[in-house]
Structures are given as C-alpha cells and as structure tokens.
Amino acid sequence: MDYKKIGLLIKKKRLEKNMTQQELADKLHITDRAISKWERGLGAPDISLLQDLSNILELNISDVLSGEDHTILGLSLTDKIIIIVCLLIPVIIISFSLMISCFRTDYILIGSISILIAYLLFLKKENNQSLKKKITWLLFILYIIFLLSTIFYTKLTAGIIYPKLNIKPNIIPFSSIVETITLIVTKSQGITYLFDYLILDILLFIPLGLLLPILCHKTKKIKNLILICFIISFTKELLQLLLNVGMFNIDDIILNVVGATLPIWYLKTYYLNI
C-alpha cells in the first residue's frame, strides 16, 4: 500500500470538492490532524472509514486503496446531446414568442426548466470544478437579470406614467395562501389560479437555492441560505411596492424561501456532500 499515492489522491479529490481538511474530518467524525497525516503520506484511513470516505470523495474503495482515480471524467456523448437539446428549447421558445409577439408565463417556465435540467446534468457529470464555477456564475448573473426583469417589465412597458394600483400590502403570513386555496376548493377559480399565485412563487427561487451554495461557501448552511433568500425576496417585494408595479405580500416571501430550499437534497447527493 503506497501511503503517498493514497494521500495525494485524497487531497486531490478533497480540493476538487472545495472542502477544507476540517470539513472532510467533520464528515468522517475524526480530527483534521488525521486528514493532514493521510495527505502527507504518513498513514492511511482505517478500514472502518473507507466506505464513508469513498462515498464523500466519489471514488471506489479500490481507488482509495490503490491511490489511483479510475472514475470516468467529463460528460459522455449522450449527456452532451441531452444538454444541447435542453439549451435549444428556450432558444426556440424565445424565437417563437418574438414571432407571435407574445411572452406567456408557461413559455418562460418550460424554457427555465429545460435550462435547469441541462445545468443539473452538467453538475452531476462534469468533474472540472473551474468550469463548473464559471458556468454557475454565468447562470447566476442571467438569473439576477431575469429576476429584476420580472419587477421592472410592467413598469417599462407601461411607459413613464403608471396608474396607481391602490392595492394594500399583505403582512399577515399565510393569509393569501389560504385565500387562494379556498377559492380553488370552492371552485370560484380554476386550478390554473394555484399555479399563478402559489406554484410560480416557489419555482421562481429554486434556481437561487441551487446556485448560491455553489458560489458562496457560507450558504451551504441552510440557515444562511434561508436568510439571504429572505433578504432578496423581501427586497423584490419592497421594490414592487415602491415602484407601484405590484403589492408587497409576505406570503410571496414565504413561498420564495420554500422554493430556495428545495434543491438542498440534490446538492447533498451530487455536489456539496453536506
């Protein structure tokens, strides 16, 4: 058993996953000094730790013991085809929308889901961490632009003079959620009302919950993620109120934060190992 090779492999995979020695040690319930000892080739992991270590580093146990990474790197041809198709879908949707001069909410949703599927597949299969970060930053910037556009679109298309909406803000948690569900249950509104006033607010912040933990180490902790997403959603609602393009609704903030926490299961399984 070559301790030096094992140590170099452990260090390489740890750094690929943007983990410190302390973070890896915490996952294995050992001290960071043990990790340091392994990586310097002064010892090897105990047999009782091999399964957990291989799972965290996404290696086979035989790879850990040999100090050689035999995992397949990069995307397969099938993966690349799926990603390209998923990225072409929003392009087709945008082109079609421009042709008919109509941007519908369901068009935007379909295009967004296609991009999200391509990104999740890319995250899962691609091992180039630098490329992952660059793609993530690009998507984050595009997402922020999209989020701002949802606030300012009505204001800009309405011209300089925008009529007063005279809609009172809602500061009572869950009141509008209960009202929406009640209208659907009593059949005063159709089922599409549920999508427009509840589901859309959840879907809107799912990308934020996926991108932030990858870009910002502190948001790997769910309490920090919730706090930042709350601030962003609160700011969005406040801007709508100040610009008179919508109402301030505390329930929108609640639904946004719920949406932001949904990707945690994916990040735990495939990327952050938290």
pTM confidence score: 0.62
Could you give the 3-state DSSP secondary structure of residue 59? coil
Instruction: Give pLDDT tens digits for 31-58.
Output: 999 999 999 999 889 888 988 898 888 7
Say if residues 120 and 198 touch (Cβ distance below 8 Å).
no
**In the block, which residue shows the tokens 């926490």?**
261
Q: What percent of the chain has pLDDT over 90?
A: 21
Query: Residue 23, exposed/middle/buried by CB under 10 A (0-12, 13-18, 19+)?
Result: buried
Say if residues 118 and 87 touch (Cβ distance below 8 Å).
yes
Secondary structure letter of residue 235 according to DSSP? H
* Maximum distance among all Cα pairs of the chain, rounded to whole angstroms: 76
Contacts of 241 (CB under 8 A, 6+ apart): 169, 247, 248
Instruction: Give pLDDT tens digits for 229-274.
Output: 999 999 988 888 887 777 788 999 999 999 999 888 767 665 554 4
The domain locations on the chain are 3-66, 73-127, 150-271
| CA–CA distance, 83 with 122 (Å, rounded to integer) | 8
Secondary structure letter of residue 70 according to DSSP? -
Q: For domain 3-66, give the CATH number.
A: 1.10.260.40
